[in-house]
Amino acid sequence: MPEKKPTPKQKGSLSPLKIWLIFYNVGSAAAWAFVLALLVKSLVLTGGDWTKSFKTCGWEVTVVQTGALVEVSSLVKTPVTTTIMQVSSRILLVWGVCYPFNAPEVRENWAFSTMVAAWGITEVVRYLYYALNLVGSQPAWLLWCRYNFFFVLYPVGAGSEWILLLKALTPAYKMDPNLAYVFATIAILYPPGLKNMYTYMMAQRRKYLKGASTAPKKQE
């Protein structure tokens, strides 16, 4: 007897894990879009005064970025090494640099605005890409954005993080000299870390822009 073909309902059924992943990715994309909107609103209303950016969206960035800690758990499938590198560096920036040091050289630096802009654009594209993949859709324009925007956004984001880290050395030294030494050591590790992330994304770009399947991808 011929095998019974799945009904449309069976084909479209979603597992609890997939529903969770869709919810997580859509929610994350929306959260980063909100952060970006706050940043743009601040810059527009102040005539491009980046010194006000932290007051406008500093706490929101901290909360949204902290939510990415879920990605180092088993609830979201991600490449362990690259995910830990990216998430840990960002957590350091929001909780270890920008939040604790109420210093103008950190919070009012232009690098905070460029860092948030780079993070926000990267994450809106990334999360939207994964959400649509999970429902079997892969728009060509979004695939192109996912694997081309990083050429500019990665160095802008990492460079901004690096600048803020260096700006925090003086207030960190006043708090605890050992903390300043830790920051300096991390700053030295940024160039090879960026190279590693860049190499990884270049490999992914070659893989997915040369005929990626429409099946849902692992979060990268």
Q: Which residue has the higher pLDDT, 105 or 73?
A: 105
Helices of type H across the chain: 8-11, 16-45, 53-66, 80-91, 104-107, 110-134, 140-146, 150-167, 169-175, 177-208
pLDDT band at 76, cuts 50/70/90? low
Provide the Cα torsion 86, 88, 94, 100; round to 10°.
-160
CA neighbor of 116 nearest in space, from 51, 69, 161, 149: 161
| Cβ atoms within 10 Å of 89's Cβ, excluding its own | 21
What is the tens place of the pLDDT at every residue in 16-52?
888 989 999 999 999 999 999 999 999 999 999 999 9
How confident is the model over 79-89, as a mean pLDDT? 77
Contact residues for 211 (Cβ-Cβ < 8 A; gap 6+): none
200 is catalytic: no
CA gap 100, 183 in Å, rounded: 14
Exposure letters 78-88 (e unless 16+ CB within 10 A, then b): beeebbebbbe
* pLDDT at res. 165: 95
pLDDT band at residue 211 using 50, 70 and 90 as cut-offs: low
Residue burial 140-168, b: 16+ Cβ < 10 Å; e: rest: eebbebbbebbeebbebbbbbbbbbbbbb
Q: What are 113-141's pLDDT values in tens digits?
A: 999 999 999 999 999 999 999 998 889 99
Q: Which residues contact 4 (CB under 8 A, 6 or more apart)?
A: none
Local confidence band at 6 (pLDDT 50, 70, 90 cut-offs): very low
pLDDT band at 79 (very low <50, low <70, confident <90, very high): low
Q: 154, 173, 198, 208: which is the annotated catalytic residue?
A: 154
> Does position 71 have pLDDT exceeding 90, yes or no?
no
Told to judge if 154 belongs to the known catalytic residues of this protein, a careful annotator would answer yes
Exactly one of 71, 123, 161, 220 is catalytic; name it.
161
Give the model's pLDDT for residue 78: 58
Q: What is the value of pTM for the model shown?
A: 0.86
